[in-house]
Amino acid sequence: MKHENIIFCFLLIFTFNLSSCRKVASDVDPPEFNQKLVINAFLSPDKTDNKIFISSNVKRFGELTGNFEPFGNASLYIYENSKEIQFDTVKKDHYGTGYDYYIKNFQFKEGQTYNLKVISDIGLEAEATCKIPLKRDFQITVDTTFRKTTDDHGFKISLLTAKISITDFPGEANYYRLLYLYETYHPAFPYKKHLSYKDAAESDIPGWAEYNPWENDRVSNDIGLNGKKFILRTIEFQPVYLDYASWLDPDSAFLRIYLLSTDKPYYDFHKSLENYSLGDTPFAEPSFVYSNVKGGLGIFASYTLDSLIFRLK
Protein backbone atom coordinates (compact mmCIF):
# COMPACT_ATOMS: atom_id res chain seq x y z
CA MET A 1 0.00 0.00 0.00
CA LYS A 2 2.81 2.33 0.91
CA HIS A 3 4.53 1.70 -2.46
CA GLU A 4 1.28 2.37 -4.34
CA ASN A 5 0.93 5.76 -2.60
CA ILE A 6 4.49 6.68 -3.56
CA ILE A 7 3.87 5.77 -7.21
CA PHE A 8 0.60 7.77 -7.19
CA CYS A 9 2.35 10.84 -5.79
CA PHE A 10 5.13 10.53 -8.36
CA LEU A 11 2.66 10.36 -11.27
CA LEU A 12 0.75 13.34 -9.88
CA ILE A 13 3.90 15.45 -9.62
CA PHE A 14 5.01 14.38 -13.13
CA THR A 15 1.60 15.31 -14.63
CA PHE A 16 1.63 18.66 -12.83
CA ASN A 17 5.11 19.46 -14.20
CA LEU A 18 4.06 18.63 -17.74
CA SER A 19 1.01 20.86 -17.55
CA SER A 20 3.13 23.64 -16.05
CA CYS A 21 5.64 23.38 -18.93
CA ARG A 22 2.85 23.66 -21.48
CA LYS A 23 1.45 26.69 -19.74
CA VAL A 24 4.81 28.45 -19.55
CA ALA A 25 5.65 27.66 -23.19
CA SER A 26 2.35 29.13 -24.37
CA ASP A 27 3.23 32.43 -22.70
CA VAL A 28 6.55 32.78 -24.60
CA ASP A 29 6.49 35.20 -27.54
CA PRO A 30 8.45 33.97 -30.59
CA PRO A 31 11.36 36.13 -31.78
CA GLU A 32 10.40 38.88 -34.19
CA PHE A 33 10.93 37.86 -37.81
CA ASN A 34 13.42 40.09 -39.63
CA GLN A 35 12.85 39.57 -43.33
CA LYS A 36 15.90 39.75 -45.57
CA LEU A 37 16.65 39.18 -49.23
CA VAL A 38 18.64 36.07 -50.10
CA ILE A 39 21.04 36.29 -53.05
CA ASN A 40 22.95 33.43 -54.66
CA ALA A 41 25.13 33.91 -57.75
CA PHE A 42 28.38 32.58 -59.20
CA LEU A 43 29.47 34.80 -62.08
CA SER A 44 31.87 33.63 -64.77
CA PRO A 45 33.00 35.03 -68.13
CA ASP A 46 33.00 31.40 -69.35
CA LYS A 47 29.21 31.10 -69.04
CA THR A 48 26.62 32.49 -71.44
CA ASP A 49 23.76 31.97 -69.00
CA ASN A 50 24.89 33.77 -65.86
CA LYS A 51 22.02 33.98 -63.41
CA ILE A 52 21.25 35.49 -60.03
CA PHE A 53 18.96 33.62 -57.65
CA ILE A 54 16.85 35.87 -55.41
CA SER A 55 14.61 34.81 -52.58
CA SER A 56 13.82 35.66 -48.97
CA ASN A 57 14.62 34.03 -45.66
CA VAL A 58 12.11 31.64 -44.07
CA LYS A 59 10.33 31.96 -40.74
CA ARG A 60 11.50 29.53 -38.03
CA PHE A 61 9.03 30.57 -35.31
CA GLY A 62 5.36 31.44 -35.12
CA GLU A 63 3.04 30.52 -37.97
CA LEU A 64 5.18 28.63 -40.45
CA THR A 65 4.37 28.31 -44.15
CA GLY A 66 7.43 26.29 -45.15
CA ASN A 67 8.07 28.66 -48.07
CA PHE A 68 10.07 31.84 -48.47
CA GLU A 69 8.31 35.06 -47.55
CA PRO A 70 7.13 37.08 -50.57
CA PHE A 71 9.59 39.88 -51.27
CA GLY A 72 7.65 41.80 -53.93
CA ASN A 73 9.07 42.81 -57.28
CA ALA A 74 12.85 43.01 -57.31
CA SER A 75 14.97 45.38 -59.38
CA LEU A 76 18.59 44.41 -60.12
CA TYR A 77 21.42 46.91 -60.59
CA ILE A 78 24.94 45.81 -61.54
CA TYR A 79 27.93 48.14 -61.62
CA GLU A 80 31.24 47.42 -63.36
CA ASN A 81 33.98 49.44 -61.65
CA SER A 82 31.29 51.84 -60.30
CA LYS A 83 29.64 52.30 -63.73
CA GLU A 84 26.10 50.98 -64.06
CA ILE A 85 25.74 48.47 -66.89
CA GLN A 86 22.68 47.84 -69.01
CA PHE A 87 21.29 44.33 -69.34
CA ASP A 88 18.03 42.43 -69.74
CA THR A 89 16.81 39.69 -67.42
CA VAL A 90 14.54 36.70 -67.84
CA LYS A 91 12.78 35.76 -64.60
CA LYS A 92 11.98 32.09 -63.91
CA ASP A 93 10.48 30.39 -60.88
CA HIS A 94 12.95 28.10 -59.10
CA TYR A 95 10.82 25.22 -57.82
CA GLY A 96 8.86 27.52 -55.53
CA THR A 97 11.95 28.54 -53.53
CA GLY A 98 12.60 31.88 -55.24
CA TYR A 99 13.38 33.22 -58.70
CA ASP A 100 16.28 32.91 -61.15
CA TYR A 101 17.12 36.11 -63.00
CA TYR A 102 19.03 35.17 -66.18
CA ILE A 103 21.24 37.99 -67.42
CA LYS A 104 21.06 38.64 -71.15
CA ASN A 105 23.14 40.74 -73.57
CA PHE A 106 26.04 41.19 -71.20
CA GLN A 107 29.34 39.33 -70.84
CA PHE A 108 31.20 39.50 -67.54
CA LYS A 109 34.94 40.13 -67.82
CA GLU A 110 37.89 38.66 -66.00
CA GLY A 111 39.74 41.00 -63.66
CA GLN A 112 36.73 43.30 -63.26
CA THR A 113 34.93 44.17 -60.03
CA TYR A 114 31.14 43.95 -60.02
CA ASN A 115 28.74 45.41 -57.48
CA LEU A 116 25.21 44.07 -57.24
CA LYS A 117 22.31 45.90 -55.64
CA VAL A 118 18.83 44.40 -55.31
CA ILE A 119 15.86 46.55 -54.28
CA SER A 120 12.33 45.23 -53.84
CA ASP A 121 9.19 47.33 -53.93
CA ILE A 122 8.34 46.40 -50.32
CA GLY A 123 11.43 48.14 -48.95
CA LEU A 124 13.99 45.31 -48.85
CA GLU A 125 17.54 45.99 -50.05
CA ALA A 126 20.74 43.96 -50.32
CA GLU A 127 24.09 44.41 -52.03
CA ALA A 128 27.31 42.49 -52.63
CA THR A 129 30.64 42.77 -54.44
CA CYS A 130 32.89 40.29 -56.24
CA LYS A 131 36.01 40.50 -58.41
CA ILE A 132 36.34 37.93 -61.18
CA PRO A 133 39.77 36.23 -61.16
CA LEU A 134 42.17 36.64 -64.07
CA LYS A 135 42.61 33.65 -66.35
CA ARG A 136 45.91 31.89 -65.68
CA ASP A 137 47.70 28.95 -67.25
CA PHE A 138 47.86 26.40 -64.45
CA GLN A 139 49.38 23.71 -66.70
CA ILE A 140 46.94 20.88 -65.93
CA THR A 141 48.59 17.46 -66.25
CA VAL A 142 47.31 13.90 -65.70
CA ASP A 143 49.49 10.99 -64.56
CA THR A 144 47.82 7.58 -64.79
CA THR A 145 48.87 4.22 -63.32
CA PHE A 146 47.49 0.73 -63.90
CA ARG A 147 47.81 -1.95 -61.26
CA LYS A 148 46.83 -5.60 -61.71
CA THR A 149 45.63 -7.46 -58.64
CA THR A 150 42.77 -9.69 -57.44
CA ASP A 151 39.56 -8.85 -55.64
CA ASP A 152 38.18 -10.48 -52.49
CA HIS A 153 36.84 -13.40 -54.54
CA GLY A 154 40.09 -14.12 -56.35
CA PHE A 155 39.12 -12.58 -59.70
CA LYS A 156 41.84 -10.74 -61.59
CA ILE A 157 41.21 -7.01 -61.86
CA SER A 158 42.95 -3.92 -63.21
CA LEU A 159 42.88 -0.73 -61.16
CA LEU A 160 43.27 2.67 -62.78
CA THR A 161 44.37 5.75 -60.83
CA ALA A 162 44.67 9.27 -62.24
CA LYS A 163 46.65 11.97 -60.44
CA ILE A 164 45.73 15.48 -61.59
CA SER A 165 48.41 18.11 -61.03
CA ILE A 166 48.54 21.84 -61.61
CA THR A 167 51.24 24.51 -61.30
CA ASP A 168 50.27 27.39 -59.06
CA PHE A 169 50.56 30.89 -60.50
CA PRO A 170 53.23 32.69 -58.43
CA GLY A 171 52.91 35.97 -56.61
CA GLU A 172 49.16 35.94 -55.89
CA ALA A 173 46.60 34.14 -53.77
CA ASN A 174 44.80 31.44 -55.73
CA TYR A 175 41.75 29.34 -54.88
CA TYR A 176 40.77 26.19 -56.72
CA ARG A 177 38.02 23.70 -57.26
CA LEU A 178 38.36 20.70 -59.56
CA LEU A 179 35.50 18.79 -61.20
CA TYR A 180 35.61 16.05 -63.79
CA LEU A 181 33.48 14.04 -66.19
CA TYR A 182 34.26 10.38 -66.74
CA GLU A 183 32.91 9.53 -70.20
CA THR A 184 32.74 6.04 -71.71
CA TYR A 185 31.77 5.02 -75.22
CA HIS A 186 30.56 1.56 -76.21
CA PRO A 187 30.54 -0.13 -79.63
CA ALA A 188 26.84 -0.99 -79.45
CA PHE A 189 25.56 2.32 -78.14
CA PRO A 190 26.97 5.55 -76.75
CA TYR A 191 26.85 5.66 -72.96
CA LYS A 192 28.11 8.30 -70.58
CA LYS A 193 28.54 8.24 -66.83
CA HIS A 194 29.26 11.72 -65.62
CA LEU A 195 28.96 14.41 -63.02
CA SER A 196 27.22 17.45 -64.44
CA TYR A 197 29.65 20.38 -64.41
CA LYS A 198 26.88 22.96 -64.48
CA ASP A 199 25.01 21.42 -61.55
CA ALA A 200 28.12 20.82 -59.48
CA ALA A 201 29.78 24.18 -60.10
CA GLU A 202 26.78 26.08 -58.83
CA SER A 203 24.93 25.70 -55.56
CA ASP A 204 21.55 27.20 -56.38
CA ILE A 205 20.31 27.64 -52.80
CA PRO A 206 22.64 28.88 -50.04
CA GLY A 207 23.31 26.18 -47.47
CA TRP A 208 22.68 23.25 -49.81
CA ALA A 209 25.79 21.19 -50.48
CA GLU A 210 25.73 20.04 -54.08
CA TYR A 211 25.42 16.32 -54.76
CA ASN A 212 28.62 14.66 -55.89
CA PRO A 213 28.84 10.92 -56.59
CA TRP A 214 32.65 11.02 -56.42
CA GLU A 215 34.47 11.56 -53.16
CA ASN A 216 37.00 14.20 -52.14
CA ASP A 217 35.36 17.10 -53.95
CA ARG A 218 36.89 20.01 -52.06
CA VAL A 219 37.91 23.59 -52.62
CA SER A 220 41.58 24.33 -51.94
CA ASN A 221 44.07 27.19 -51.85
CA ASP A 222 47.76 27.74 -52.63
CA ILE A 223 49.00 28.44 -49.08
CA GLY A 224 52.57 27.10 -48.92
CA LEU A 225 52.48 26.22 -52.65
CA ASN A 226 53.28 29.55 -54.30
CA GLY A 227 54.49 28.83 -57.85
CA LYS A 228 54.87 25.08 -57.20
CA LYS A 229 53.51 22.08 -59.08
CA PHE A 230 51.37 19.86 -56.87
CA ILE A 231 48.75 17.10 -57.04
CA LEU A 232 45.33 18.69 -56.72
CA ARG A 233 43.28 15.50 -56.81
CA THR A 234 43.65 11.74 -57.14
CA ILE A 235 40.86 9.75 -58.80
CA GLU A 236 40.48 5.98 -58.37
CA PHE A 237 38.23 4.41 -60.97
CA GLN A 238 36.08 1.31 -60.74
CA PRO A 239 38.06 -1.93 -61.27
CA VAL A 240 38.03 -3.71 -64.64
CA TYR A 241 37.77 -7.52 -64.55
CA LEU A 242 40.39 -9.30 -66.65
CA ASP A 243 39.13 -12.89 -66.47
CA TYR A 244 36.26 -12.28 -68.84
CA ALA A 245 35.07 -9.74 -71.36
CA SER A 246 31.73 -8.05 -70.86
CA TRP A 247 29.48 -6.27 -73.31
CA LEU A 248 29.47 -3.47 -70.73
CA ASP A 249 33.20 -2.87 -71.19
CA PRO A 250 33.72 0.47 -72.95
CA ASP A 251 35.41 0.81 -76.30
CA SER A 252 37.07 4.03 -75.15
CA ALA A 253 37.06 6.29 -72.12
CA PHE A 254 37.90 9.95 -71.56
CA LEU A 255 38.54 12.12 -68.53
CA ARG A 256 37.23 15.64 -68.98
CA ILE A 257 38.73 17.94 -66.34
CA TYR A 258 37.34 21.31 -65.26
CA LEU A 259 39.54 23.53 -63.12
CA LEU A 260 37.79 26.46 -61.48
CA SER A 261 40.00 29.37 -60.41
CA THR A 262 37.76 31.08 -57.88
CA ASP A 263 37.70 34.24 -55.84
CA LYS A 264 37.99 34.10 -52.06
CA PRO A 265 34.23 34.44 -51.35
CA TYR A 266 33.59 31.34 -53.51
CA TYR A 267 36.25 29.47 -51.51
CA ASP A 268 34.97 30.71 -48.13
CA PHE A 269 31.37 29.80 -48.97
CA HIS A 270 32.11 26.22 -50.10
CA LYS A 271 34.57 25.74 -47.25
CA SER A 272 31.81 26.73 -44.83
CA LEU A 273 29.53 24.13 -46.46
CA GLU A 274 32.14 21.46 -45.70
CA ASN A 275 32.28 22.55 -42.06
CA TYR A 276 28.59 23.39 -41.65
CA SER A 277 27.16 22.35 -38.30
CA LEU A 278 24.58 23.65 -35.84
CA GLY A 279 26.29 21.85 -32.98
CA ASP A 280 25.39 18.17 -32.81
CA THR A 281 26.57 17.82 -29.20
CA PRO A 282 26.15 20.12 -26.18
CA PHE A 283 29.86 20.97 -26.31
CA ALA A 284 30.12 21.61 -30.07
CA GLU A 285 30.26 25.20 -31.22
CA PRO A 286 28.02 25.76 -34.28
CA SER A 287 29.64 26.60 -37.62
CA PHE A 288 27.48 28.67 -39.97
CA VAL A 289 27.40 29.15 -43.74
CA TYR A 290 29.51 32.05 -45.03
CA SER A 291 27.69 35.06 -46.47
CA ASN A 292 29.06 38.21 -48.14
CA VAL A 293 25.72 39.92 -48.82
CA LYS A 294 25.21 43.21 -46.99
CA GLY A 295 21.68 43.82 -45.76
CA GLY A 296 20.72 40.26 -46.67
CA LEU A 297 21.98 36.70 -46.83
CA GLY A 298 23.73 34.52 -49.40
CA ILE A 299 26.76 34.47 -51.64
CA PHE A 300 27.91 36.59 -54.59
CA ALA A 301 31.10 35.08 -56.00
CA SER A 302 32.93 34.33 -59.25
CA TYR A 303 35.37 32.07 -61.06
CA THR A 304 37.14 31.47 -64.36
CA LEU A 305 37.41 28.09 -66.02
CA ASP A 306 40.17 25.99 -67.57
CA SER A 307 39.69 22.48 -68.95
CA LEU A 308 41.52 19.46 -70.32
CA ILE A 309 40.38 16.30 -72.15
CA PHE A 310 42.52 13.24 -71.42
CA ARG A 311 42.06 9.88 -73.18
CA LEU A 312 42.17 6.99 -70.71
CA LYS A 313 41.55 4.15 -73.13
pLDDT per residue, tens digit, the chain (313 aa), is: 445 554 445 444 555 455 444 444 555 666 777 899 999 999 999 888 899 999 998 876 655 556 678 899 999 999 998 899 989 999 999 888 899 999 998 999 999 999 999 999 999 999 999 999 999 999 999 999 988 888 888 888 888 889 999 999 999 999 999 888 777 776 665 555 554 555 555 543 333 333 333 445 788 999 999 999 999 999 888 777 777 766 556 667 788 888 999 999 999 998 888 776 555 555 545 557 899 999 999 999 999 999 888 888 6
Alpha-carbon span 135 to 46, nearest angstrom:
10
Question: Whole-model pTM above 0.85?
Answer: no
- Please report which helix (H) or strand (E) contains residue 37, including its range: strand 37-43
Q: Supply the pLDDT for residue 276.
A: 63
Q: Where are the domains of the chain?
A: 141-262+303-311
90 Cβ contact list (under 8 Å, min separation 6): 101, 102, 104
Alpha-carbon span 129 to 265, nearest angstrom:
10
Question: How far does CA 157 lie from the centroid of its chain?
Answer: 35
Q: Supply the pLDDT for residue 208.
A: 31
Alpha-carbon span 75 to 129, nearest angstrom:
17
Tell me if the domain spanning 141-262+303-311 has CATH number 3.30.70.
no
Q: Supply the pLDDT for residue 23.
A: 47
Q: Supply the pLDDT for residue 8.
A: 47
Contact 104/88 with Cβ under 8 angstroms? yes
- Please report which helix (H) or strand (E) contains residue 19, including its range: helix 2-26
Alpha-carbon span 302 to 130, nearest angstrom:
7
Question: How far does CA 88 lie from the centroid of its chain?
Answer: 26
Contact 240/148 with Cβ under 8 angstroms? no
Contact 69/76 with Cβ under 8 angstroms? no
